[in-house]
Structure 1
Amino acid sequence: FGLAGFERAWPAELSGGMRQRAALLRTVVQQRDMLLLDEPFGALDALTRAAMQRWLERMWRSHRWTALLITHDVREAVLLSDRIYVLSARPARVVAEVAVPLPR
């Protein structure tokens, strides 16, 4: 998970990307088949966000999780999704379902 050497570090000593990986690792060690991700990279800078998106895609390929990703970032949705549900303003309702025809 890219955290080697930081096993004894306190959360404040980790970068934002490392904290996100640690949070995802907690799910993995519980052997869950599904990830629920609500704006997981929203607080990261652009470079770290792009690195974490690539990392998540690699982890997804190796673990074959089902993931529900909530994001306001259209590029992130297209990059990381097979299917996108577009919601309306409050109260949220599904207004469109978009299949992403890009290869994984």
Structure 2
Amino acid sequence: LPRRHTIATYSMCDLSTSFAFKGLMHGWSAIPIISLAWAMLLLVAGFWFRASENTACQFATTVDPICREENARLWSLDGVTQFEKVNDLYMQNAVWAMFITSLTVGYGDIRAT
């Protein structure tokens, strides 16, 4: 048996993953750990969001019929005026979208059609 199981048996304590997690979250280091984990999650989610948004309907080899529709190019926020959607290549826009989404703030006046 590993050494941790022997120590756990003698001390009658469960040294599992939840025990280690509780140890990390107890004390002054909990806030930096949670903040770092959240920031890393925002960066990873922002990267994947940016990667999926930039590749949607942009390739000449895309054969999906939805990409040929007018709604794939022209967007409308108020139902009257239209503008052509341009995918931004900036990482900060994708991270901002993930930040707003993770805080559940959102923008109620802007929604997908």
* TM-score of the pair, normalised by structure 1: 0.28
Larger radius of gyration: 2
* TM-score of the pair, normalised by structure 2: 0.26
Structure possessing the higher relative contact order (Cα contacts under 8 Å, 6 or more residues apart):
2
